[in-house]
């Protein structure tokens, strides 16, 4: 593999991986926010629920 190919490969794969990571992180956090909002404390007898990721 030439240096040029290596350069493009590294650049593109890192950018892609990081971008993908951002998208996945955001989805996970939005899901968690959704869940913890649904388990809001208007049920005063139930114990505290842990928000599942």
Partner 1 sequence: MSVRPKTSARPLPWWARWAGILGAVGTAATVWLGLWVTPPDRTQGNLVRLVYLHPPIAWVALYLAFGLAALSSLLYLWRRTRSLFWDRVAAASVEVGVVFNALTLATGMLWGRPTWGVWWTWDARLTSTALLLVLFLGYLALRRVPAEPEVRARRCAVAALVAFVDVPIVHFSVIWWQTLHQGATVLNANLSPTIHGSMAWTLLLGFVALTLVFVWMVAVRYRIEVLADRTDAAHLEISLEERWSEAEPTSSDVGSARPPSQVGT
Tokens of 15: 């950018």
1 binds partner 1 (CB under 8 A): no
Q: For tokens 């005063």, what's the residue?
A: 44
3-state SS class at 17: helix
3-class state of residue 48 by DSSP: coil
Site string for partner 1, 4-43 (x = CB under 8 A): x-xxx-xxx-xx--xx--xx-xx--xx-xxx-xx--xxx-
Total binding residues toward partner 1, as defined by CB under 8 A: 34
Q: How far is CA 22 from the centre of its chain?
A: 6
Which positions touch partner 1 (CB under 8 A)? 2-4, 6-8, 10-12, 14-15, 18-19, 22-23, 25-26, 29-30, 32-34, 36-37, 40-42, 44-45, 47-51
């Amino acid at each position: 593999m030439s240096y040029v190919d290596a350069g493009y490969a590294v650049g593109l794969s890192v950018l892609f991986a990081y971008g993908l990571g951002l998208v996945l992180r955001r989805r996970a956090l939005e899901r968690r926010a959704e869940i913890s909002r649904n388990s809001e404390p208007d049920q005063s007898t139930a114990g505290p629920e842990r928000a599942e990721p």
